[in-house]
A and B are shown apart, each in its own frame.
Chain A
Amino acid sequence: GENVEQHPSTLSVQEGDSAVIKCTYSDSASNYFPWYKQELGKGPQLIIDIRSNVGEKKDQRIAVTLNKTAKHFSLHITETQPEDSAVYFCAANPGSARQLTFGSGTQLTVLP
């Protein structure tokens, strides 16, 4: 089945700096890659997603890039703010299974 690896596991940045989280996946049939933000005591909330026919997608301070050849995708957050502090998960939708496989998560801390 699909295997998603995520790095780093923890990331601390100064407010206003950029943060980058990287994921790799194993199933070449995967073609949907969402990113979720999970705050303490809450379920994962979708923040951005990308489909395999697109190489990059941007939504205000958040962007995602996808390299299908290398099977990796990344989340970029610019001008970070303290409220961006949370756990971020990448995921991939493998083949026809119509289910998500998640990475292990990145604890992002934005220092004021």
Chain B
Amino acid sequence: EAGVAQSPRYKIIEKRQSVAFWCNPISGHATLYWYQQILGQGPKLLIQFQNNGVVDDSQLPKDRFSAERLKGVDSTLKIQPAKLEDSAVYLCASKQGQARYGYTFGSGTRLTVV
């Protein structure tokens, strides 16, 4: 079974620029998550999708962050404009069905804002 694919692996941008990350979940996984992991901390949820609908985006800084999952498969997370404090690893995870378990994480995209 292929894992959760994320790209790019690394990105360096200047503050106030925009950036986009892409995630391809495991085939058949209806639930998709984006997490932000700041260096030295645990992952923090940004947004949760069920198919192509948003389940929870309460912790997404909507003034600068946006995410979509138009066809219920791939997802993109965008930051515009980026701030220095957005430097982090952005992890995508997916899960099949409504079970509480079975999360699989991608390797993440490391963003550095200078």
**In the complex, which residues of chain A have a beta carbon less than 8 angstroms from the beta carbon of B95?**
98
In the bound complex, CA of A97 to CA of B4 (Å): 22
Return the contact of B100 from the options A42, A93, A104 (Cβ within 8 A). A93
Query: Taking the nearest CB of chain B, how far is it from the CB of A94, in angstroms?
Result: 10
Q: How large is the interface on B (under 10, 10 to 19, 20 to 34, 35 or more residues)?
A: 20 to 34
- Whether A99 lies near B33 (C-beta < 8 A) is yes
In the bound complex, CA of A31 to CA of B101 (Å): 10
- Whether A43 lies near B106 (C-beta < 8 A) is yes
Total A-B residue contacts, Cβ distance less than 8 Å:
57
B10 to chain A: closest residue by CB: A41
Beyond A99-B33, A102-B43, A102-B44, is A43–B91 a contact (Cβ under 8 Å)?
yes
For window 59-84 of A, CB contacts with B under 8 Å fall at none
Number of A residues with CB within 8 Å of any CB on chain B? 26
A46: interface (CB < 8 Å) = yes
- Which of B43, B91, B95, B106 gathers the greatest number of chain A CB atoms within 10 Å? B43
**In the complex, which residues of chain A have a beta carbon less than 8 angstroms from the beta carbon of B31?**
98
Query: Taking the nearest CB of chain B, how far is it from the CB of A31, in angstroms?
Result: 7
- Whether A43 lies near B41 (C-beta < 8 A) is no
**In the complex, which residues of chain A have a beta carbon less than 8 angstroms from the beta carbon of B41?**
104-105
In the bound complex, CA of A46 to CA of B39 (Å): 20
Beyond A49-B101, A97-B56, is A104–B48 a contact (Cβ under 8 Å)?
no
Enumerate 6 A-B pairs (CB-CB under 8 Å) in ascending A order.
Answer: A41-B107, A89-B42, A98-B95, A99-B56, A100-B103, A104-B42
